[in-house]
Amino acid sequence: MARLPLIDPETTTGDIRASFDRMPLKLNIFRMMAHAEANMIPAMRLGNSILHKQKLSAVNRELLILQVAQLESGAYEWRQHVPIALGLGVTQPQIDALASGKYDDGAFNEAERALLAGNPPVARHDAVPWKAFLASRTTWLLWAQYFFFSYCWYFYVTWLPTFLKNTYGSTTGKYALALLAGVPLFGGGFGNLISGFLASRLARAVGSLARARRILAFTGFALAGAVFLLPAHIQDPVLIMTAMGLAGLFGDMSMPCSWSACMDVGGKFAGTYSGAMNMMGNLGGALAPAAIGHILKLTNRNWAVAFDISAGAYFLAALCWLFIDPVTPLVPAGSPSPEAEREQ
């Protein structure tokens, strides 16, 4: 049941009424849209351009829409377009043939049979090979390094402004503090660009893309950890933020390596594989603000401890990359996943 009452077309005026008058069928979706008068007309114009300004004839368009609805079990689309198709010249025998999947039926002429022939169902994703993913050392290490990386990165967008304000707010203007807070993010952008620029050149130099990715990611994380140890031992805000800017730059050198590894290792499941890694990163990012808050509370707001722990997280991420295979797909190209084979 609709939460809003459906508009009676007879009670509308102006452009809305004219739009309803042109409709062969006053579908409920349009009666609902009529509540938003400012949006209905632009939406109708888009729909009209799709329906009436394409190269396909109205009959052929509806035949294809109904075919897709039949192939994909689109019950709603089927119900909506059967009366539309009948109103535009599609015959009931043709609709019955489409419902049965008989695209070469005598109800269609030669051109229509050619139009409907060889249209497969929309390609579907094979079953994700979670067992293969979870059995892989590379999977767990990619997840771990991205968890540690995100733990460090989220400090920049959560606690860093508080650190700068509490430590230097009395001596530094708010605009200067805002600029300083953006330094690690600015550095991170350059880190991505530098890594992308170096990756192919380094791969040619060392003779291996896998080795190049390991070198870039390991070196980036190790340097990020090293420079992140400095803020605990210096006082000047410019020097501290220079160190954090370098940490942002070096740490982000790992990102092209991480995401390209997901593409190669995940293969045709790259979307799922990279999404899983990103989820683990988000867990690290969710943990960081709470963990840093507790660390500050337990240490009487000793920022040096929080900085040293973040440096340690960078070093752990670097360690992960010593054992990651960032190029070998877990499911060879062209082969079905183990789960898909069991479903057959």
Q: Of 213, 229, 247, 249, which Cα lies nearest the Cα of 322?
A: 213
Give whole-number Cα distances, 137 to 59, 133, 222, 282, 321, in Å.
55, 9, 21, 20, 11
Q: Report pLDDT for 344.
A: 45
pTM greater than 0.85? no
Mean pLDDT computed over every residue of the chain: 88
pLDDT band with cut points at 50, 70 and 90 for residue 340: very low
User: Does 130-320 carry CATH code 1.20.1250.20?
Assistant: yes
Query: Is 283:212 a contact under the CB 8 Å cutoff?
Result: no
Q: With a cut of 70, say whether residue 252 has pLDDT above it.
A: yes
What is the rounded CA–CA span in Å between residue 344 and residue 332?
19
More confident residue, 217 or 237: 217
**Between 52 and 269, residue with greater pLDDT:** 269
- Calculate mean pLDDT across residues 315-330: 96
> For domain 9-116, which architecture applies?
Up-down Bundle (1.20)
Identify the residue with better confidence: 118 or 189: 189
Segment 249-260 mean pLDDT: 96
Average of pLDDT values for 169-198?
Answer: 90
* pLDDT at 1 > cutoff 70: no
* pLDDT above 70 coverage of the chain, percent: 94
Distance set, CA 215 to CA 96, 111, 163, 169, 212 (Å): 63, 59, 33, 39, 5
With CA atoms as reference, report the closest residue to 275 among 297, 258, 251: 258
Mean pLDDT of 14-41: 81
Report the distance separating Cα 55 and Cα 115, nearest Å: 13
Q: Is the pLDDT reported for residue 338 higher than 70?
A: no
Q: Tell me: pLDDT of 343 over 50.
A: no
Ordered by start, the domain boundaries in the chain are: 9-116, 130-320
Q: Which residues contact 71 (CB under 8 A, 6 or more apart)?
A: 101, 119, 120, 121, 122
Judge contact between 246 and 221, C-beta under 8 A: no
